Amino acid sequence: MSTFEREFCAKYPFTETARNYIASTGFSLEDLASGEFVEIVERAKARIREAIQRGEISTFLEGDLDVEILSYPVALVILGLLGEARLARRYAVAESKRVEELLLGEDDDVLVRVAEEAFSWRLVKERTRMGSKLIDFCMPVHQFIATAATFHDPHWKLVNKLVYDGQVHLRRTEVARLIAEEVKNRVLVRISELTSVGGEALKSLQPHLEELRREASGRMKYLELPEEGVTSEDAYPPCIRKLLEDLRAGKSLPHMGRFALTTFLINVGVDVDEVVALFSSAADFDESKTRYQVEHIAGLRGSKIRYLPPSCETLKSFGLCVEEAGCGNIKHPLIYYRRKLRKRRATSGGTEPSKEAV
Amino acid sequence: MEAPSLLRKLFKQYYDSCSKDDFTLRSFTEREFAFLTFDSEGMIRHKSFSSPEELLEYMRNSPPAHVYYSSAYYETPAAEEMDAKGWKGADLIFDIDADHIATPCKEEHDTWKCLDCGAEGRGMPPESCPNCASKKIEEFTWMCERCLEAAKAEVLKLIEEFLIPDFGVSEKEIEICFSGHRGYHLHVECEDFRHLNSEARREIADYVRGVGIVFEDHGFTRLGSTRVLLGPSLTERGWRGRVARGVYTVIDAIDMHAPVLYMPARDLNWLRENRQAILEALSKEPPFWAIFSKLKKQSLKELLKAAVTQCACNIDERVTIDIKRLIRMPNSLHGKTGLKVVKISYADLDSFKPLKDAIVFRKGYLKLHVKRIPKLRVGEVEVGPLEDKVVELPMAAAVYILARGAGEPVWR
Query: What are the tens digits of pLDDT across the range B357-408?
Result: 999 999 999 999 999 888 888 888 888 889 999 999 999 999 999 999 899 9
- Considering only CB atoms, which chain B residues are within 8 Å of A149? 197, 199-200, 202-203
What is the least distance, in Å, from the CA of A76 to any CA of chain B? 26
Q: Rounded CA gap, B111 and B141, in Å?
A: 7
**What pLDDT sits at residue A302?**
65
**What pLDDT sits at residue B258?**
61
Nearest CA in chain A to B308: A159
Which one has a higher pLDDT value, B209 or B129? B209
For the ranges A192-196, A241-245, B103-107, B270-274, the one whose mean pLDDT is highest:
B270-274
Nearest CA in chain A to B161: A164
**What pLDDT sits at residue A344?**
74
- Considering only CB atoms, which chain A residues are within 8 Å of B197? 146, 149
Residue to test with chain A: of B45, B82, B203, B317, most A Cβ within 10 A? B203
Domain segments of chain B as ranges: 3-97+146-203+317-359, 106-140, 215-311, 361-412
Q: Is residue B137 very low, low, confident or very high in pLDDT (cuts 50, 70, 90)?
A: confident
Is the pLDDT at A141 greater than 50? The verdict is yes
- Yes or no, beta carbons of B214 and A154 under 8 Å apart: yes
**What pLDDT sits at residue A327?**
82
- Yes or no, beta carbons of A141 and B167 under 8 Å apart: yes
- Please give the share of chain B, as a percent, with pLDDT higher than 70: 98
What is the least distance, in Å, from the CA of B273 to any CA of chain A? 29
- Yes or no, beta carbons of B196 and A130 under 8 Å apart: no
Cβ-in-10-Å burial (0-12, 13-18, 19+) of A60 comes to middle
Domain segments of chain A as ranges: 3-101+186-219, 109-179, 222-356
**What pLDDT sits at residue A229?**
46
**What pLDDT sits at residue A349?**
47
Q: Which residue among B207, B230, B236 sits closest to A159, beta carbon to beta carbon?
A: B207
Average pLDDT over residues A239-258: 84
**What pLDDT sits at residue B306?**
93
Q: Rounded CA gap, A108 and B25, in Å?
A: 43
- Yes or no, beta carbons of B196 and A155 under 8 Å apart: no
- Considering only CB atoms, which chain B residues are within 8 Å of A288? 81-82
The answer to whether B71 and B93 are in contact (CB under 8 A) is yes
Q: How many CB pairs under 8 A join A and B?
A: 88
**What pLDDT sits at residue A357?**
33
Q: Which residue among B165, B169, B210 sits closest to A159, beta carbon to beta carbon?
A: B210
- Yes or no, beta carbons of A149 and B199 under 8 Å apart: yes
For the ranges A125-139, B116-130, B201-215, the one whose mean pLDDT is highest:
B201-215
- Yes or no, beta carbons of B165 and A165 under 8 Å apart: yes
Lowest mean pLDDT among A337-341, B100-104, B300-304: B100-104
Q: Rounded CA gap, A256 and A239, in Å?
A: 12
Which one has a higher pLDDT value, A304 or B105? B105
Which one has a higher pLDDT value, B354 or A217? B354
3-state secondary structure of A194: coil
What is the least distance, in Å, from the CA of B48 to any CA of chain A? 22
Q: Which residue among A146, A159, A163 sits closest to B206, beta carbon to beta carbon?
A: A159
3-state secondary structure of A348: coil
Which one has a higher pLDDT value, A355 or B151? B151
A145 interfaces chain B, CB cutoff of 8 Å: yes
CA B296 to chain centre: 36
Is the pLDDT at A324 greater than 90? The verdict is no
Is the pLDDT at A223 greater than 50? The verdict is no
What is the least distance, in Å, from the CA of B196 to any CA of chain A? 6
- Yes or no, beta carbons of A163 and B211 under 8 Å apart: no
CATH topology of domain B361-412: Ribosomal Protein L9; domain 1 (3.40.5)
Q: Is residue A13 very low, low, confident or very high in pLDDT (cuts 50, 70, 90)?
A: very high
Is the pLDDT at B92 greater than 90? The verdict is yes
Is the pLDDT at B340 greater than 90? The verdict is yes
Average pLDDT over residues B308-331: 94
Whether the domain at B3-97+146-203+317-359 and the domain at B361-412 fall into the same CATH topology: no
Q: Is residue B412 very low, low, confident or very high in pLDDT (cuts 50, 70, 90)?
A: low
**What pLDDT sits at residue A256?**
87
Q: Rounded CA gap, A142 and A158, in Å?
A: 10
The answer to whether B370 and B407 are in contact (CB under 8 A) is yes
The answer to whether B397 and B381 are in contact (CB under 8 A) is yes
What is the least distance, in Å, from the CA of B69 to any CA of chain A? 21
- Yes or no, beta carbons of A146 and B197 under 8 Å apart: yes
The answer to whether B271 and B258 are in contact (CB under 8 A) is no
The answer to whether B271 and B278 are in contact (CB under 8 A) is yes
Nearest CA in chain B to A122: B192
Q: Which residue among A131, A149, A292 sits closest to B200, beta carbon to beta carbon?
A: A149
Q: Is residue A356 very low, low, confident or very high in pLDDT (cuts 50, 70, 90)?
A: very low
The answer to whether A178 and A91 are in contact (CB under 8 A) is no
Among B284, B213, B156, CA closest to A163 = B213
- Alpha helix positions (H), chain A: 3-11, 16-25, 38-54, 65-82, 85-104, 108-119, 141-148, 172-193, 199-219, 238-248, 255-267, 272-279, 287-297, 312-317, 333-347
**What pLDDT sits at residue B329?**
97
Nearest CA in chain A to B166: A164
- Considering only CB atoms, which chain B residues are within 8 Å of A155? 214, 217
- Yes or no, beta carbons of B165 and A167 under 8 Å apart: no
Q: Rounded CA gap, B132 and B80, in Å?
A: 40
Q: Is residue A226 very low, low, confident or very high in pLDDT (cuts 50, 70, 90)?
A: very low
Lowest mean pLDDT among A74-88, A145-159, A209-223: A209-223
Q: Please name every residue paired with B386 in a beta bridge, in sequence order, or none if there are none.
A: B373
Q: Rounded CA gap, A16 and A116, in Å?
A: 9
Q: Which residues of B are marked as active site?
A: 95, 97, 316
Q: Which residue among B165, B217, B236 sits closest to A160, beta carbon to beta carbon?
A: B217
- Yes or no, beta carbons of A131 and B240 under 8 Å apart: yes
**What pLDDT sits at residue A353?**
36
- Considering only CB atoms, which chain A residues are within 8 Å of B237? 162, 164
Our separate counts of H helices and E strands in chain A read 15, 4
Average pLDDT over residues B254-282: 88
- Yes or no, beta carbons of B238 and A162 under 8 Å apart: yes
Residue to test with chain B: of A156, A159, A293, A303, most B Cβ within 10 A? A159
HEC-encoded secondary structure of A115-154: HHHHHCCCCEEEEEEECCEEEEEEEEHHHHHHHHCCCCCH
- Yes or no, beta carbons of B168 and A165 under 8 Å apart: yes
CATH no. of B3-97+146-203+317-359: 3.90.920.10
Q: Is residue A220 very low, low, confident or very high in pLDDT (cuts 50, 70, 90)?
A: low
Q: Which residues of B touch A (CB under 8 A)?
A: 81-83, 165-169, 192-193, 195-197, 199-200, 202-204, 206-207, 210-214, 217-219, 230, 232, 236-240
Q: At B137, phi and psi to the nearest 5?
A: -110, 125
**What pLDDT sits at residue A358?**
31
E strand or H helix at B127 = none
- Yes or no, beta carbons of B210 and A140 under 8 Å apart: no
**What pLDDT sits at residue B179?**
94
Sequence-ordered list of residues with C-beta below 8 angstroms from that of A217, at least 6 positions apart, any chain: A224, A358
Query: What rounded mean pLDDT belongs to chain B?
Result: 91
b/e per residue B164-173 (b: at least 16 CB within 10 A): bbbbbbeeeb
The tens digit of pLDDT for each residue in B223-264 reads 666 667 889 999 999 999 999 999 999 999 988 766 678 889
ipTM of the complex: 0.91
Question: Is the torsion defined by CA of B352, B355, B359, B365 positive or negative?
Answer: negative
**What pLDDT sits at residue B106?**
76
Query: What rounded mean pLDDT belongs to chain A?
Result: 84
Cβ-in-10-Å burial (0-12, 13-18, 19+) of B21 comes to exposed
| The length of chain A, given as a count of residues | 358
Among B408, B411, B410, B396, CA closest to B371 = B408
What torsion do the CA atoms of B24, B42, B322, A272 make, to the nearest 10 degrees?
-130
3-state secondary structure of A34: helix
